[in-house]
Structure 1
Amino acid sequence: MTITTTRPEPASADLGTDPQEPAGRRVLTGDRPTGPLHLGHYFGTLRNRVRLQRQGAELFVVVADYQVITDRDIADRLAEHSENLVIDYLATGLDPESATIFAHSAVPALNQLLLPFLSLVSVAELGRNPTVKDEIAHSRQSSVSGLMFTYPVHQAADILFCKADLVPVGQDQLPHLEVARTVARRFNERYGAGIFPRPRALLSEAPLLPGTDGGKMSKSRGNAIALAADEDETARLVRGARTDAERRISYDPAGRPGVAGLLQLAALCQDRTPGQLAEEIGNGGAAALKRTVTEAVNEHLRPIRARRAELAADRAHIRQVLRTGAERANAVADATLAEVRAAMGAVGSA
């Protein structure tokens, strides 16, 4: 067998133009609990999840704790990071009454799907996956673990256990989604059962948000502004951001990446264009630019940070959200696994 070379058909990147489109859709999304979420996550994915939920989509949000050890030897501060993810989810607007927020490790049937799914892809196919190659290249491990190698199939289990038909992804994650689509198609063909839909990609419209050093904003690069950062820390991080010596502020992503990144960040916070902000700051130089960015970020995040502080003070509530989500996810996963066993004629289906 060879993996299909066609990419998944992306859904509209702007579902906001048709408020009815997400209604009835089942969406799978989530994050690895490896550290605090930052503004790149917020503008890249978190706001979009809230919008999808408000427009009627059914959200399954996985705290991918098992996948933390795909590229590192130990899962450092796993429980703390997992709870902090949930705090950020709720602070930015996800409603746990309708969204199913759960941890990988709490849903055994989801992870059991990995076994039959692995039989549907070859070692060669996994080795050719460009996203796996990139993740291996940036791995913190001295050697490639089996979990790293089978990461796309584990993600297929994440998506297919709840029969998600829409998956928000970045362009670099399309190969992973193609694995899920391939697994769904092959399972249905091999066992003569139309159990799994072929999920579609929802490509993010959000531009890549640069960090304070002009590179990609990342937890591991020390160039990110965390949602949990207070106003003073935000001001300090912005003051230390890389700019240039040219006094007139202009939006030039190629020629002035540091300045452009700061303009982009402030523009997202104020729902304006980077060009408009650049024109307004004019000859104010880097100092005026950084003041504008600091004020824009702090103003935008102030209600989110207030809500986050309330949530962080009630860890029992956060744990209950995860327990409730796990109960819902387990019911769905158990039902899907039962269908899979029955289609395969497994003893467990008797």
Structure 2
Amino acid sequence: MTANKRVLTGITTTGTPHLGNYVGAIKPAVVASRDAATDSFYFLADYHALVKCEDPARVQQSTLEIAATWLALGLDTSRSVFYRQSDITEIPELTWLLTCVTAKGLMNRAHAYKAAVDDNVGASDDPDYGITMGLFCYPVLMAADILMFNANIVPVGKDQIQHLEMARDIAQRFNHRYGEHFVLPEAQVDEHVATLPGTDGRKMSKSYDNTIPLWLPEKKLRKAIMKIKTNSQEPGEPKDPDKAAVYSVYAAFASERQRGEMRQAFADGIAWGEVKQQLFQLINAELEGPRERYEALINNPHKVEQELERGAEKARELSRPFIAELREAVGIRSLG
């Protein structure tokens, strides 16, 4: 690796990729991975998945689906490091080293933990009912993911900024006690990242059950798009694109020229069915080639596994010597 800036992105392996994931995270990250001035790290966060998912088959299947998705969409693994978190044995070791310098009070303030406690208050005599140490210590594992590779930049949504602040706090504590080993990571929050509405108009999210899976076959994709909620305005009536979920989805895939033409069509009273048909054609044209590559990869898990193993070896070329340095720093040393 060069002295380029390092950018790191993790994807939790609990679900099936949908159009919102593609537009908001995957597509811009694949483009960014081709930047010659950046060393990009992308990992499948399967240890993190265990906090949220108790179905082993689902974690495994999601790992395959997400890895195949990134590869099918053109992630250049010769220029980036693409790996499975659990393949990097130095990450759980670093997690323990960081746990030993992390204040419990810092973990008490984590949003996910506080939200779980709040849910319990009033519903149980025990505010910590059902809360695992996995959930409580989640931010330390996230810090280890970032600090293991001394990432300079971590693209995050607004809800993840606290985790980056915690990673910086933990890194500073370790550096203060054992010397300067960690770069302090910076959160990169893109205010312009597209947040796609789902079929009901709310943000596309698994929790709302309103997603459109990314790799639906052509006929099912069209059917899902036709279900996007619209109002009762008739054909011929002018419509407001800024209040229509179907236009927001269209705009995320369209060129500037296409967006302008569609806005004019809205002013001219285009029928909702025609908008959805044009949206289907636009999305299908973009995903047709990648869909074929995805299907080929899903049906050849061995090829995906080989890519992840190669990525893990590239990652461990960095993590092995670094964990040796950190062991030495904390006093876990040879006596000979």
TM class, shorter-length: 0.7 to 0.9
**1:297 and 2:278 equivalent?**
no
SS in 2 for 1:340: helix
- Change beyond 3 A, Cα 1:49–1:348: farther
Equivalence for 1:210: 197
| 2-structure distance, mates of 1:136, 1:279 | 50
Equivalence for 1:87: 68
SS in 1 for 2:155: strand
**Aligned pairs (5 A) from 1:103-118:** 103-118=84-99
| 1-structure distance, mates of 2:224, 2:195 | 19
**Aligned pairs (5 A) from 1:77-226:** 77-134=58-115, 143-191=130-178, 193-204=179-190, 205-226=192-213
Name the stretch that deviates more: 282-291 or 71-80. 71-80
8 A contact 2:92–2:141 mirrored in 1: yes
SS in 1 for 2:151: coil
**1:266 and 2:250 equivalent?**
yes
SS in 2 for 1:77: helix
| 2-structure distance, mates of 1:271, 1:349 | 64
Q: Give the number of equivalent residue pairs.
A: 321
Equivalence for 1:306: 292
Q: How far did 1:80 drift? A: 2.1
Name the stretch that deviates more: 201-210 or 60-69. 201-210
| 2-structure distance, mates of 1:138, 1:47 | 35
Instruction: Mark the structure with the bigger radius of gyration.
Output: 2
**1:34 and 2:14 equivalent?**
yes
Write the letter of the residue equivalent to 1:38: H
| 2-structure distance, mates of 1:142, 1:81 | 28
TM-score for the superposition, normalised by structure 1: 0.84
Which of 250, 253, 278 in structure 1 is aligned with 2:263? 278
8 A contact 1:59–1:100 mirrored in 2: yes
Q: How far did 1:134 drift? A: 4.5
Equivalence for 2:306: 320
**1:51 and 2:49 equivalent?**
no
SS in 1 for 2:43: strand
SS in 1 for 2:271: helix
Which of 216, 223, 229 in structure 2 is aligned with 1:229? 216
SS in 2 for 1:207: coil
Name the stretch that deviates more: 279-288 or 56-65. 279-288
Q: How far did 1:136 drift? A: 7.1
Q: Deviations over 1:267-296 (max 9, x none)?
A: 121123866523224312321221122122
8 A contact 2:14–2:53 mirrored in 1: no
Alignment gaps of 5+ in structure 1: 1-21
| 1-structure distance, mates of 2:216, 2:119 | 27
Q: Deviations over 1:91-147 (max 9, x none)?
A: 1111122222211221111111111211222222112122543577799x9711101
- Change beyond 3 A, Cα 1:88–1:142: farther
8 A contact 2:195–2:203 mirrored in 1: yes
Write the letter of the residue equivalent to 2:265: E
Write the letter of the residue equivalent to 2:228: A
Equivalence for 2:50: 69
8 A contact 2:106–2:166 mirrored in 1: no
| 2-structure distance, mates of 1:137, 1:287 | 44
Equivalence for 1:12: none
Q: Deviations over 1:228-278 (max 9, x none)?
A: 1121111111111111112332123xxx4xx2x211111121123866523
Q: Deviations over 1:65-85 (max 9, x none)?
A: 111121233334322221211
Q: Deviations over 1:138-166 (max 9, x none)?
A: 99x97111011111110000001111111
- Change beyond 3 A, Cα 1:136–1:300: farther
Alignment gaps of 5+ in structure 2: 121-127
Q: Deviations over 1:295-334 (max 9, x none)?
A: 2211221222122223233322111011111222223222
